[in-house]
Structure 1
Amino acid sequence: MDYGARSCIMQSQRASQEECSMESQLEVWNEYLKLRDQSQELMPDLIGIKNALTGEAYKEGVLSTKVKRLMGLTVGLRAGCKYCIVGQTMLALQAGATKEEIFETLAVATAMGGTPGLSESFRVVQLLGELGKL
Structure 2
Amino acid sequence: MSKLIEDFQAYRTAMNEKILASNNKVMKRIYSIDTLAYQEGALSIKTKEMLGLVSSLVLRCDDCVKYHLEKCFEQGTTTEELFEVLSIANLVGGTIVIPHTRRAVEYWEALLEK
Shorter-normalised TM range:
0.7 to 0.9
1:51 Cα offset (Å): 2.5
Q: Is the 8 A contact 2:5 2:111 kept in 1?
A: no
* 1:43-102 Cα distance to aligned partner (Å, 9 max, x none): 452332023211221111111011101101111101111111101111121222222211
Q: 1:91 to 1:35 in 2, by over 3 A?
A: same
* 1:123 Cα offset (Å): 1.4
1:72 aligns to what?
52
Conserved in 1, the CA contact under 8 Å of 2:66 and 2:107? yes
Name the structure, 1 or 2, with higher relative contact order (CA <8 Å, separation 6+): 2
Matched, 1:46 2:26: yes
Matches within 5 A, 1:1-134: 24=4, 26-133=6-113
Cα distance, 1:106 vs. partner? Answer: 0.4
Structure 2, unmatched stretches of 5+, are none
Identity of aligned residues (%): 24
CA distance in 2, matches of 1:47, 1:128: 29
Aligned equivalents of 1:123 and 1:26: distance in 2?
15
What is the RMSD computed on CA atoms of the aligned residues? 1.9
